[in-house]
Amino acid sequence: MNNTEKIKKSLNKRYRKEKRFRLLSLLAVLTGFACLFILLVDMIIKALPAFIQTEVKLDIHFDQEKLELAAHFEPEELQNANFRGLIKQSLQQRFPTVRKRSDKRALMRLISVDAEYQLRDKLQAEPQLLGETVPIWLLVDDDVDTYLKSDKQFGRVSQKQIAWITELEQQERFQKRFNYWFFQTGDSREPELAGILGAVMGSFYTLLVTLLLSFPIGVMAAVYLEEFAPRNRWIDLIEVNINNLAAVPSIVFGLLGLAVFINFFGVPRSAPLVGGMVLALMTLPTIIIASRSAIKAVSPSMREAALGLGASKVQVAFHHVVPLAMPGILTGTIIGLAQALGETAPLLMIGMVAFIVDIPQGVTDAATVLPVQIYLWADSPERAFVAKTAAAILVLLLFLVAMNGLAVWLRKKFERMF
């Protein structure tokens, strides 16, 4: 066997190896895709139940006596009237055989604690209902909701409760509707009442502070470094610093905020103001790096033409270079803000983990943000919060997709070649 034959014989083996290697590397790409796919599908499947809320129809008799109201009462007295009693009465009429105290309590637990406030709002809106008996759809408790959604495979409802639920179901007294509540309220201890509006507003105010601080500072720093800075060791130091800050673990920024902003300067804890300040420091490197490359891409002939017409260096920078670089700067800013929107760890350090029901009205109100809300709900023991968490994750991802989409669109639309 001469060499040519040897090589020919080995060729098949080498080609097989080539194919294997190629397949293996394709497999790696597909594994990455699969991870992303599984992650998204898992979130969507987990989130679906949160968008549907079960209600139960009860015949409520607005009995003045039962409400503990006098014959002539002031409108304010409605606030403290005994609406819970109405629900009790209605449930007792529906299930007259329930006698024991503990059973009655278990029966009441089928209905959400918020149902009495629903009744109060209804009566305040329509005072003529007083003394009438009307069928009203009320929120059910999260355990019942989970039981009905999970194909009756859920252990936190007792056998007796299951019997009652089955009876109500046979009378077709349950309905499922879209859970608009989820988008209209703040946090709550009761899963059926918890919503994400508070967290969304908190995120909005936090990002507003971040934008107002990091955008001007970042752009000005980039303009200085690209257009004015002399080449010396001080400028080198600044550049090394910016690159290093981009890689510092985010939790360290949280500790900086805690030690400097809160303990030293006395900025209020848990507020979007301090959260926005910390996130602004984190976003700065991203904005500076993106702005610098956008400014670098502006053709030198632009500068030379402006200088030739007698513009000063500051005028060249702010009248010509920055406007031309603006699409790139804005793209970088949006990407930086999208990162800040998903950031959780530093905000845990500065006390944005508090349980806050109210929707924040400004940058100094105590607030929480979307990712922290996700963290808090993921920690909650109630099963119904799993769906809420996944739903909040979907909302967060939606915002991120929208922001990144905007950034891509800006880049495509204003991309200019020099």
Binding to another protein (CB under 8 A) within 329-388 occurs at: 338, 341-345, 348-349, 353, 371-372, 374-375, 378-379, 386
Q: How many CB atoms lie within 10 A of CB 34?
A: 11
Dmax over CA atoms of the chain, in Å, equals 116
Is 26 one of the binding residues for another protein (CB under 8 A)? Answer: yes
Closer to another protein at the Cβ: 163 or 398? 398
Closer to another protein at the Cβ: 100 or 233? 233
Closer to another protein at the Cβ: 197 or 213? 213
Considering the complex, what minimum distance in angstroms separates the CB of residue 77 from another protein? 26
Amino acid found at 114: D
Is 259 one of the binding residues for another protein (CB under 8 A)? Answer: yes
Among 248, 297, 305, 402, binds another protein (CB under 8 A): 248
| Binding to another protein, residues 190-229 (CB under 8 A) | 216-218, 220-221, 223-225, 228-229
Closer to another protein at the Cβ: 59 or 379? 379
Q: How many CB atoms lie within 10 A of CB 337?
A: 21
Any bridge partners for residue 56, and if so which?
138, 174
Among 6, 8, 9, 39, binds another protein (CB under 8 A): 39
**By rule CB under 8 A, what string of x and - marks binding of each residue 80-119 to another protein?**
----------------------------------------
The secondary structure of residue 181, as a DSSP letter, is G
Nearest alpha-carbon partner for 197 in 386, 370, 402, 387: 370
Among 134, 297, 305, 314, binds another protein (CB under 8 A): 314
Strand ranges of the sheet holding 174-178, from the earlier edge strand across to the other edge: 133-139, 52-61, 174-178
Q: Are 235 and 229 in contact (CB under 8 A)?
A: yes
Considering the complex, what minimum distance in angstroms separates the CB of residue 146 from another protein? 15
Structure tokens at 72: 């002539």
Considering the complex, what minimum distance in angstroms separates the CB of residue 403 from another protein? 10
Considering the complex, what minimum distance in angstroms separates the CB of residue 41 from another protein? 10
Provide the Cα torsion 295, 299, 303, 305; round to 10°: -160
Q: Are 137 and 56 in contact (CB under 8 A)?
A: yes
Is 44 one of the binding residues for another protein (CB under 8 A)? Answer: no
Closer to another protein at the Cβ: 152 or 313? 313
Is 27 one of the binding residues for another protein (CB under 8 A)? Answer: yes
Rounded Cα–Cα distance for residues 67 and 64 (Å): 5
Rounded Cα–Cα distance for residues 191 and 146 (Å): 10
DSSP strand pairing (133-139 vs 174-178): unpaired
Considering the complex, what minimum distance in angstroms separates the CB of residue 143 from another protein? 19
Is 164 one of the binding residues for another protein (CB under 8 A)? Answer: no
Among 1, 4, 5, 28, binds another protein (CB under 8 A): 28
Instruction: Provide Rg for the chain, Cα atoms.
Output: 31
Closer to another protein at the Cβ: 113 or 353? 353
Among 32, 127, 323, 405, binds another protein (CB under 8 A): 32
12 to each of 25, 108, 245, how far by Cα in Å? 20, 76, 52
Is 397 one of the binding residues for another protein (CB under 8 A)? Answer: yes
Closer to another protein at the Cβ: 119 or 376? 376
Per CB under 8 A, the segment of 19-27, 133-141, 199-207, 300-308 that binds another protein is 19-27
Is 263 one of the binding residues for another protein (CB under 8 A)? Answer: yes
Considering the complex, what minimum distance in angstroms separates the CB of residue 334 from another protein? 12
Rounded Cα–Cα distance for residues 243 and 223 (Å): 17
Structure tokens at 48: 């679906």
Is 309 one of the binding residues for another protein (CB under 8 A)? Answer: no
| Dihedral sign (CA 251, 392, 386, 119) | positive
Among 186, 276, 285, 332, binds another protein (CB under 8 A): 285
Is 326 one of the binding residues for another protein (CB under 8 A)? Answer: no
Is 268 one of the binding residues for another protein (CB under 8 A)? Answer: no
Amino acid found at 352: M
Q: Are 301 and 316 in contact (CB under 8 A)?
A: no
Considering the complex, what minimum distance in angstroms separates the CB of residue 154 from another protein? 16
Nearest alpha-carbon partner for 355 in 194, 203, 207: 194
Kindly provide the residue ranges of all beta strands, DSSP E only, lying in 257-334, ordered along the sequence: none
